[in-house]
Amino acid sequence: MNLYRLSEEETRILCKQKLESLEFWMRKLIHDKLIVDFGDNYIEAKINGTDYLINSNIRRKILARKEAEPARYSRLIDASLLEHLIDIICNPSLYNKYFRKALDLAFPDGREEAKTFLKRLEYPRNCLSHANPLSIRNSEQVVCYTNDIIDSIKSYYQMNNNEKEFNVPTIIKLTDSFGNVFHKTNSNEISVID
C-alpha cells in the first residue's frame, strides 16, 4: 500500500482502524488463553495464591477504567489500553505458555522480538489518540506490523480451534444501537457478556 497517495486524514483513519483491530484481536487472545486456566477473573488472579498474574499497576488502571465507565466495558480486558495489552502478552512468565504459538508467524524469535515491535506501535497510537501529527514512517509501521500480527493470530485460531467450512470474516464483537456489547465465545455462538 502506498501511503503517499493517501491524504493525511485517510492515513489517520486507516492507521486508527488497524490499531483498533489489533487491540480487539489481542484482547480476544488474552481472554481466550487466560480464562481457561484462571477463570473469568483472570485480571485479578494469583499464581500460587501469592503473586498476581498481571502487574499491579496494569490491574489498577484496568479496574479504574472499568469502574469509571462500567457500561462501556463488558469484560475487564476491554478496559485495557494497547500498552496494557503489550505488557500482558510480553510478560516473561506468560508469553511462552499462553501467547507464543499465536504470535510465532509474526515473531519467530520470541518474546523480545514481540516486545520490540509491539512497543513501536505505542507512539503512533498515542499520536492518533491525542490528535498529534503522524509521520509516513509511523503510518507504515502501523500498517505493516498490525497486518503481520493480526494475520499470525488469525492463523493460530484457524489452525487450532476455529476450523471453518468456508473462509469468511469472523465477527468477534458486536455493538447494537442500545449499547449492548456481544462477544464471540469459544464456540461458534455470539453471546452477550455483562
pLDDT in tens, 117-175: 999 999 999 999 998 999 999 999 999 999 999 999 999 999 986 545 444 556 667 77
Round to whole Å and give the CA distance between 127 and 42. 30
| Helix runs in the chain, H state only | 8-38, 56-68, 82-89, 100-103, 111-119, 122-129, 136-160
| Span 23-55, pLDDT tens digits | 999 999 999 999 999 999 999 999 887 889 999
In this model, does residue 114 exceed pLDDT 70? Answer: yes
pLDDT at res. 178? 74
Mean pLDDT within 99-114: 97
- Environment class of residue 124 by beta-carbon count within 10 Å: exposed (0-12), middle (13-18) or buried (19+)? buried
Among 175, 166, 25, CA closest to 190: 175
Residue 120's SS3 state is coil
Between CA 19 and CA 122 the distance in angstroms is 10
Look up residue 73 and give its DSSP letter: -
